[in-house]
Chains A and B, each alone.
Chain A
Amino acid sequence: MSSSSTLELENVCKKHGSVQILHDVSLRVEPGEFFSLLGPSGSGKTSTLRIVAGLETTTSGSVRIDGDDVTRLAPGERDVAMVFQSYALYPHMTVFDNIAFPLRMVNTSKDAIRRQVFEAAERVQLSGYLERKPGQLSGGQQQRVALARAIVRHPRLFLLDEPLSNLDAKLRVETRVHIRNLQRSLGVTTLYVTHDQEEAMALSDRMAVFLDGRVVQVGTPEEIFERPRTAGVAAFIGNPPMNLVPAKLTGSELKLGESTYRVSSGDGSRERDVFVGLRPSDLRLDADGTPTRVVLVEVLGEQTLLDVYLGGTLCRVRVPGKHRLATDSTVNVTLRPETFHLFDAGSGERIEQNIHFSMA
């Protein structure tokens, strides 16, 4: 096992003509870390990965691996390996030749190639398939060939671009575990691009949330889930994500629809617009709660999703168990102020407040 590498991006900007794809992206990935780039499509996560790989150039800013500036180096000079979304296997070569390809490019001896290919194939459970062509393999097997080809030469960085998106749901979960174990046992610093937050949460040591070409938040999955730094992150993370309800915050009070809540530490008496973030699972059906009309019911087996209006905004409520409620029936929903997240309506930034419930 080689010693692990650090990766640093400093103020990386990328423009395509007049369109700015990346705005000042700065990241630091620690040695051996499994780091995910999470964001919706078009948010710049794949561009960032491709810049690290050297497949795309930066407009400004720098990329450093182990402190070496690699910003201007060609992909092959960076000693990084990548698994592509489409796997990009060479269809005219056998599995053996596919995995051996990176070794042949650096003039490895025949014996060493055999040994290393067998070892890599063993790690991804492909030993029996070395003589096949990629076209004769299942999607999951092809994906493992791509993994083997990436790990065979012990790169400084391991880059994965949505490697699971072409697999079916069951295989995706299995392969996820496999990738995590593989990365742990190799100890290789890994950058992982995905739009699937569940995947990012399950795999990552830390992750960066991308929105509109910016890194909005970096942290452990728990940090990001529990304390989203902006309303944008809040609206993206969670399944379903947080409900954002417009409200008014004054020095001492939070007015949300008909209800008023007391705020313990205000910042003066100026009234400002905020969003209250309500996680669907933090809302409760309760006889004491506010009566509201049910717009849509989705029974998902172990849980039920309800669409209701809270404070004039359509919100989703997630309640455990099956609730076969009729559309247009009335339920009582309890909002628990200790679970509120507050965001400034203008900047979207999180506001740290202690909110206490008061009977208004």
Chain B
Amino acid sequence: MKSRSWTIVRYTVAVAVLLVWTFPLLWTVLTSFKTPSEVFTYPPHFFFHPTLENYRQALVGYSSIVPNLGISAVIATSTTVLTMLISIPAAYALARRRFRGRYAVGLYVLTTQMLPPIGLIIPYFLIFNRIGWSDTYQALIAIYLTFAIPFAIWLMISFFEDVPLEMEEAAYLDRCGRFRTLWHVILPQVRGGIMVTLLFVFMSSWNEFLFAIVIGGSHIRTVTAAMYNFISVEQTLWGPLTAAACITMLPVVIVGMLAQKHIVSGLSLGAVKGGGRTR
């Protein structure tokens, strides 16, 4: 009996925490289907006549976010692809090779993660103005790379360390070169970890707002910055704003659900097997 009441308590607490956790999301989703008058009704109705007008406005209205979705997609995809191209070999090298300065590189990678981004905004702004990169794709991609690459390297080192060195040596003995070994032997085994990293990198650049609003401009405006269009001095268009937010969330949620299997296996990768060593 005791264990049963304990179960009830546990579930109650879990549901309560979950409700608090998901409330902002719930509010956003509900608001996106409300008419302007419904939005301001107090107390709010949980049941109301839903409308798609907000979505119409966000997608094909005066300040449609569709071009901005495209811009965000270009920036997030470029950031992710470049980050993976650079970080995979870098993480592999840091995991496997002993060389001078290995420790310093590791420390640098970690400390960049501790820097508060806000401290860098003004220097970045000045530098990009000077070299004529303000309001360009490359400016935002460059900034995102400076955060994403160290993060990705740091995350992936441990995945590579978990692959036994002997497996690589076996491949070398069988005339498999270093890059082919990485491709055919190592990468298939850290696939889960790479998926996790890729997803985190994509998400963080897709969701980024601070640099997007300061460094981006009227021309290169990511979708997170574009949502700001619905907030003006006179009023905030809550309906279209929340509809835009839901649309923006969608790709990340879909990709996350598709990659869930890999994420779980990726996160538990380090826990299952040891045996990684460096030379």
- Cβ of B175 under 8 Å from chain A: yes
- Cβ of A76 under 8 Å from chain B: yes
Q: A105 and B174 in contact (CB under 8 A), knowing A84-B166, A92-B188, A92-B189? A: yes
In the complex, what distance in Å separates the CA atom of A101 from the CA atom of B180? 12
| B-contact 0/1 string along A99-111, CB 8 Å cutoff | 0011001100000
- Cβ of A266 under 8 Å from chain B: no
Min C-beta distance of B172 to chain A, whole Å: 4
Contact check, A88 vs B167: say whether CB atoms are below 8 A apart. yes
- Cβ of A82 under 8 Å from chain B: yes
Q: A88 and B170 in contact (CB under 8 A), knowing A76-B176, A106-B175? A: yes
Contact check, A84 vs B176: say whether CB atoms are below 8 A apart. no
Q: A55 and B176 in contact (CB under 8 A), knowing A91-B189, A92-B189? A: no
- Which residues B154-188 have CB closer than 8 A to chain A? 164, 166-167, 169-177, 180, 185, 188
> What residues of A have a CB within 8 angstroms of the CB of B189 in the complex?
91-92
Q: A102 and B275 in contact (CB under 8 A), knowing A82-B170, A91-B189? A: no
- Cβ of A129 under 8 Å from chain B: no
Q: What residue of chain B has the Cβ atom nearest to residue A80's Cβ?
A: B173
Q: What residue of chain A has the Cβ atom nearest to residue B168's Cβ?
A: A88
- Cβ of A86 under 8 Å from chain B: yes
In the complex, what distance in Å separates the CA atom of A77 from the CA atom of B171? 12
Taking a contact as CB atoms closer than 8 A, the residue among A55, A90, A91 that contacts B172 in the complex is A55
- Cβ of A140 under 8 Å from chain B: no
- Cβ of A74 under 8 Å from chain B: yes
> What residues of A have a CB within 8 angstroms of the CB of B164 in the complex?
86, 88
Contact check, B169 vs A55: say whether CB atoms are below 8 A apart. yes
Of B173, B180, B185, B188, chain A has the most CB atoms within 10 Å of the CB of B173
Contact check, A86 vs B172: say whether CB atoms are below 8 A apart. no
> What residues of B have a CB within 8 angstroms of the CB of A80 in the complex?
173
- Which residues A138-159 have CB closer than 8 A to chain B? 149, 153
- Cβ of A75 under 8 Å from chain B: yes
Taking a contact as CB atoms closer than 8 A, the residue among B170, B174, B180 that contacts A84 in the complex is B170
> What residues of A have a CB within 8 angstroms of the CB of B166 in the complex?
84-86, 88
> What residues of B have a CB within 8 angstroms of the CB of A149 in the complex?
170, 174
> What residues of B have a CB within 8 angstroms of the CB of A160 in the complex?
none
Min C-beta distance of A282 to chain B, whole Å: 42
Contact check, A75 vs B173: say whether CB atoms are below 8 A apart. yes
Contact check, B175 vs A102: say whether CB atoms are below 8 A apart. yes
- Cβ of A53 under 8 Å from chain B: yes
| A-contact 0/1 string along B185-200, CB 8 Å cutoff | 1001100000000000
Q: A74 and B169 in contact (CB under 8 A), knowing A86-B164, A86-B275, A88-B164? A: no
> What residues of A have a CB within 8 angstroms of the CB of B171 in the complex?
90, 101
Taking a contact as CB atoms closer than 8 A, the residue among A88, A102, A105 that contacts B169 in the complex is A88
> What residues of B have a CB within 8 angstroms of the CB of A249 in the complex?
none
Contact check, A74 vs B172: say whether CB atoms are below 8 A apart. yes
In the complex, what distance in Å separates the CA atom of A76 from the CA atom of B174? 6
- Which residues A26-66 have CB closer than 8 A to chain B? 53-55
> What residues of A have a CB within 8 angstroms of the CB of B173 in the complex?
53-55, 75-76, 78, 80-82
Contact check, B169 vs A84: say whether CB atoms are below 8 A apart. yes
> What residues of B have a CB within 8 angstroms of the CB of A77 in the complex?
175
In the complex, what distance in Å separates the CA atom of A89 from the CA atom of B167? 7
Contact check, B169 vs A75: say whether CB atoms are below 8 A apart. yes
> What residues of A have a CB within 8 angstroms of the CB of B172 in the complex?
54-55, 74-76
> What residues of A have a CB within 8 angstroms of the CB of B170 in the complex?
82, 84, 88, 90, 149
Min C-beta distance of B70 to chain A, whole Å: 37
Q: What residue of chain B has the Cβ atom nearest to residue A82's Cβ?
A: B173
In the complex, what distance in Å separates the CA atom of A106 from the CA atom of B177? 11
Q: What residue of chain A has the Cβ atom nearest to residue B185's Cβ?
A: A90
Q: What residue of chain B has the Cβ atom nearest to residue A76's Cβ?
A: B175
Min C-beta distance of A189 to chain B, whole Å: 16
In the complex, what distance in Å separates the CA atom of A80 from the CA atom of B175? 10
- Which residues A235-284 have CB closer than 8 A to chain B? none
> What residues of B have a CB within 8 angstroms of the CB of A78 in the complex?
173
Contact check, B185 vs A105: say whether CB atoms are below 8 A apart. no
Q: What residue of chain A has the Cβ atom nearest to residue B176's Cβ?
A: A105
> What residues of A have a CB within 8 angstroms of the CB of B176 in the complex?
76, 101, 105
Min C-beta distance of A321 to chain B, whole Å: 45
> What residues of B have a CB within 8 angstroms of the CB of A101 in the complex?
171, 174, 176
In the complex, what distance in Å separates the CA atom of A53 from the CA atom of B172? 10
> What residues of A have a CB within 8 angstroms of the CB of B177 in the complex?
76
Q: What residue of chain B has the Cβ atom nearest to residue A56's Cβ?
A: B279
Q: What residue of chain B has the Cβ atom nearest to residue A85's Cβ?
A: B166
> What residues of B have a CB within 8 angstroms of the CB of A55 in the complex?
169, 172-173
Q: A102 and B167 in contact (CB under 8 A), knowing A86-B275, A92-B188? A: no
Contact check, B275 vs A105: say whether CB atoms are below 8 A apart. no
Min C-beta distance of B278 to chain A, whole Å: 14
Min C-beta distance of A82 to chain B, whole Å: 5
Contact check, B188 vs A102: say whether CB atoms are below 8 A apart. no
In the complex, what distance in Å separates the CA atom of A54 from the CA atom of B173? 8
In the complex, what distance in Å separates the CA atom of A149 from the CA atom of B169? 14
Across the A-B interface, give the 6 residue pairs with the lowest CB-CB distance, nearest first: A76-B175, A102-B174, A88-B166, A88-B170, A92-B188, A75-B172
A-B contact pairs, 7 of them (CB 8 A): A54-B173, A55-B173, A76-B172, A76-B173, A89-B167, A106-B175, A149-B174
A contact set with B: CB distance below 8 Å: 53-55, 74-78, 80-82, 84-86, 88-92, 101-102, 105-106, 149, 153
Known: A82-B170, A90-B170, A105-B175. 6 other contacts (CB 8 A): A55-B172, A74-B172, A75-B169, A80-B173, A89-B167, A90-B171
